[in-house]
């Protein structure tokens, strides 16, 4: 595999360290507190804090509070909260540009004394007119001829508040014919008679961004001032100010990267403010907004956003990223984390005529390819509810769910067959009378002889909990939205009477869930209560928009077979369909993994060869589809440094509990770079999984002893803290402890 290419910013940083230009790397994240931070800020946060972390430096969080008419403490708090939530810490390095107002003013006075700045009294329109055009040089104001003494007097009186807004400005005296129009005597200060949320009414003048920013960087000892490409032309002002003042080195330098642009999304704070203040969305944390607060309330994880930022990389040229890539990141993150449960959003009653009494069905929260433990008991009774779309009286071709002639399996339960359809006076189906097969229960030997092609979700009528579901979709209906005229009228759908299995509400195994065949959902952190549970849709199981936007096939194209995958009908060739059926029916792979392997000839052959060496289809397929496929995105198949035999050895160690799935990822990364045998890597680095309780128990005892408050909360009923204790034990053992054994031992210790 080719080595991962280092981004250009880190190359600059490394060269500066090697040359001795700086002793310590200092970056900064300098937002203006005039709105809530969005996903573009998340990219900037990850770059600035990430570079500081990678090179043992530090990153300052600095609020660029130079415009008192738009800024507010609530925005400062939102920015701090976003940085913390993403997992970064500025320590003691929280600053405000207003901290430096006196120093910046003194620097302005110094420029006036040098004859490099003057007070201009032209109107705003005249200043704009005199600036010239791209093809014509500008015209300098007659006020540029004022003496140093007059400029100093006027500037001092501006500071004291003797003039009205717009009556005077302070400008740098540079070059009115400069090719870079930013250098045509740019403004340094303007008059603003407005209350500042931190400085109060102490100032009547405020520095412009271009003047304050470079000086704030210098005062704080910033080395690398990293900003987006729209500030590229501003770099000349940045350098002019610092060079003209001849400030003592070391000094900072500005570097630009491409800002984040996402389709179906607006990133302008002005437009976001318009949406919020116009009532088009429900506040800055509306789950449809691209704000970090919005993503957080919707249910996105910090890891998914940071992984997204890492995947899109750091470029020098602007481009537009497909929002589907962000949606993939959250799916990929949640797939191995969240429990699977059943929720019925559009209930249709089913009465099982030959069933009496009730029972509880034990069902796992996680599929077999997710290395997590946990299960719940699902009540089963005579009266159930299924999804209305899971029954068709006159089914289309390729429909594999319940019909008058086609049986179906109730997920984790029994096979049922439709016996009678009950309709109301208007002909609407209101109930299905069904028959169940007692000898068809999941997890037992099925002797019913009934063959089914699909399993559907359901809930018991008596025990199901009523929940509100908020189905969020993209806020805009066009790829490149301009404003409110492009809003998607269907961006939010609220379902008031959905039904969910009781363990989700009563046992609360997590805050995020996969509602099977529906998508990923999150307990709304604001509106949720046990009396009125509310769930936000994070993302669907698939990119439904990609399906909507596919061009219609020409009628002359040959027809292909279709196969049912997670409730969606996806075209497949006959050969692919056979492979898919083999992997799902015989090898018991889940639909998504089988689908990927069936469609990719190289991955399929790679998997088959590995399988011939190690009979662990689920573990092997998971590695091939997730890890091997990821490497192939960045390198050619011929350049792979590992073989199917290596992957088989890795899978075997997982199956035999020699290493954990988490350690296996680390081993895979090493193997993909070096080509070394995975067994040798494990032995050389001492990565063998700890499964001996005698080695794990002392660590558990230490964690429990160090967290008495959390122990008390857990024993008082806060079951969510169980994951905290397990996580601490795994962390202290470097991820080597066997998670299954840790779960059991922690459970015993906390009784």
Percentage of residues of the chain with pLDDT beyond 70: 95
Provide the pairing of β-strand 408-410 with 358-364: unpaired
Catalytic residue among 53, 70, 198, 259: 259
Domain boundaries, the chain: 115-208, 347-363+378-460, 562-685, 693-749
The CATH architecture that domain 115-208 belongs to is Alpha-Beta Complex (3.90)
**pLDDT-based confidence at 271, cuts 50/70/90?**
very high
409 is catalytic: no
Catalytic residue among 146, 173, 269, 298: 269
What average pLDDT does the structure give for the chain?
90
Domain spanning 347-363+378-460: which CATH class is it, in words?
mainly beta
Q: What is the largest CA-CA distance in the chain?
A: 102
Torsion angle defined by CA atoms of residues 445, 373, 687 and 694, in that order, rounded to the nearest 10 degrees:
-100
Please give the annotated binding residues for ATP, written as ranges.
32-34, 38-44, 228, 259-260, 267-269
Q: Structure tokens of 749? A: 């210790």
pLDDT at 563: 39
Question: pLDDT tens-digit profile of 71-121?
Answer: 999 999 999 999 999 999 999 999 999 999 999 999 999 999 999 999 999
Q: Using CA atoms, how far apart are residues 139 and 132, in angstroms rounded to an integer? A: 7
Please give the annotated binding residues, written as ranges.
32-34, 38-44, 64, 209, 228, 259-260, 267-269
pLDDT at 730: 79
Work out the angle between the directed axes of helices 721-732 and 693-706 (0-180°, nearest 10). Answer: 120
Question: pLDDT tens-digit profile of 391-406?
Answer: 999 999 889 999 999 9
269 is catalytic: yes
C-beta of residue 229 within 8 angstroms of C-beta of residue 258: yes
pLDDT beyond 60 at 130: yes
> From residue 732, how far is each of 657, 719, 728, 748 by CA, in Å?
19, 21, 6, 19
**pLDDT-based confidence at 546, cuts 50/70/90?**
low
Question: pLDDT tens-digit profile of 599-624?
Answer: 888 889 889 888 988 888 989 998 99
53 is catalytic: no
> From residue 432, how far is each of 404, 413, 440 by CA, in Å?
10, 17, 20
| CATH number listed for the domain at residues 693-749 | 1.10.10.410
**568 vs 542, which has greater pLDDT?**
542
**721 vs 182, which has greater pLDDT?**
182
């Amino acid at each position: 595999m080719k080595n991962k290419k280092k981004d250009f910013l880190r190359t600059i940083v490394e060269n500066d360290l090697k040359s001795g230009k700086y002793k310590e790397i200092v970056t900064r994240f300098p937002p203006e507190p005039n709105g809530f931070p969005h996903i573009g800020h998340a990219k900037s946060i990850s770059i600035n804090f990430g570079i500081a972390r990678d090179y043992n430096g530090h990153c300052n969080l600095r609020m660029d509070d130079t415009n008192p008419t738009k800024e507010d403490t609530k925005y400062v708090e939102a920015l701090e909260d976003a940085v913390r939530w993403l997992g970064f810490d500025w320590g003691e390095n929280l600053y405000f540009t207003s901290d430096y107002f006196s120093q910046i003013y003194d620097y302005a006075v110094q420029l006036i004394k040098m004859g490099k700045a003057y007070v201009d009294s032209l109107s705003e329109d005249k200043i704009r007119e005199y600036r010239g055009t791209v093809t014509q040089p500008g015209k300098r104001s007659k006020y540029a001829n004022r003496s140093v003494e007059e400029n100093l007097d006027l500037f001092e009186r501006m500071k004291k508040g003797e003039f009205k807004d717009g009556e005077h400005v302070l400008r740098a005296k540079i070059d009115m014919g400069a090719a870079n129009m930013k250098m045509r005597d740019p403004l340094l200060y303007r008059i603003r008679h407005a209350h500042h949320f931190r400085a109060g009414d102490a100032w009547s003048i405020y520095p412009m961004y271009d003047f304050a920013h470079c000086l704030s960087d210098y005062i704080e000892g910033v080395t690398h001032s990293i900003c987006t490409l729209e500030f590229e032309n501003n770099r000349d002002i940045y350098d002019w100010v610092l060079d003209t003042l001849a400030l003592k080195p070391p000094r900072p330098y500005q570097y630009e990267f491409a800002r984040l642009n996402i389709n179906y999304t607006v990133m302008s704070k002005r437009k976001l403010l318009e949406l919020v203040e116009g009532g088009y969305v429900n506040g800055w944390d509306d789950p449809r907004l691209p704000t970090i607060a919005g993503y957080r309330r919707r249910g996105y994880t910090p890891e998914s956003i940071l992984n997204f930022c890492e995947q899109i990389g750091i470029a020098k040229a602007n481009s537009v990223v497909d929002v589907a890539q962000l949606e993939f990141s959250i799916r990929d993150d949640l797939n191995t984390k969240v429990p699977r449960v059943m929720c019925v959003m559009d209930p249709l009653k089913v009465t099982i005529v030959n069933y009496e009494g009730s029972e509880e069905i034990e069902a796992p929260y996680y599929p077999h390819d997710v290395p997590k433990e946990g299960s719940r008991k699902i009540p089963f009774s005579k009266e159930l509810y299924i999804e209305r779309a899971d029954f068709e009286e006159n089914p289309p071709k390729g429909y594999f769910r319940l019909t008058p002639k086609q049986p179906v399996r109730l997920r984790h339960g029994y096979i049922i067959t439709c016996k009678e359809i009950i309709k109301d006076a208007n002909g609407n189906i209101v109930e299905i009378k069904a028959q169940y097969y007692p000898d068809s229960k999941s997890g037992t030997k099925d002797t019913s002889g009934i063959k089914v092609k699909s399993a559907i979700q359901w809930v018991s009528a008596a025990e199901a909990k009523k929940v509100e579901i908020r189905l969020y979709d993209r806020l805009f209906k066009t790829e490149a939205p301009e404003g409110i005229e492009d809003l998607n009228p269907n961006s939010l759908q609220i379902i008031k009477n959905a039904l969910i299995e009781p363990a989700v509400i009563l046992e609360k195994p997590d805050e995020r869930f996969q509602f099977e065949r529906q998508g990923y959902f999150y307990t709304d952190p604001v509106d949720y209560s046990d009396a009125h549970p509310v769930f936000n849709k994070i993302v669907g199981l698939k990119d439904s928009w990609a399906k909507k936007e596919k061009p219609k096939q020409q009628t002359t194209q040959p027809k292909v077979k279709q196969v049912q995958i997670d409730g969606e009908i996806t075209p497949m060739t006959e050969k692919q369909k056979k492979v898919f059926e083999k992997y799902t029916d015989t090898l018991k792979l889940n639909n998504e993994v089988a689908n990927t392997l069936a469609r990719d000839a190289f991955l399929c052959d790679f998997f088959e060869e590995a399988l011939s060496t190690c009979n662990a289809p689920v573990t092997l397929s998971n590695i091939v589809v997730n890890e091997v496929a990821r490497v192939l995105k960045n390198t050619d198949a011929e350049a792979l440094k590992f073989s199917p035999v290596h992957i088989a050895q890795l899978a075997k160690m997982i199956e035999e509990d020699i290493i954990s799935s988490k350690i296996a990822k680390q081993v895979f990364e090493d193997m993909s770079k070096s080509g070394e045998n995975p067994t040798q890597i494990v032995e050389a680095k001492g990565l063998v999984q700890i499964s001996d309780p005698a080695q794990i128990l002392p660590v558990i005892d230490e964690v429990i002893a160090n967290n008495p408050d959390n122990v008390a909360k857990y024993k008082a009923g806060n079951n969510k803290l169980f994951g905290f204790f397990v996580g601490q034990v795994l962390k202290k053992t470097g991820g080597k402890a066997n998670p299954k054994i840790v779960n059991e031992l922690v459970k015993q210790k906390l009784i």
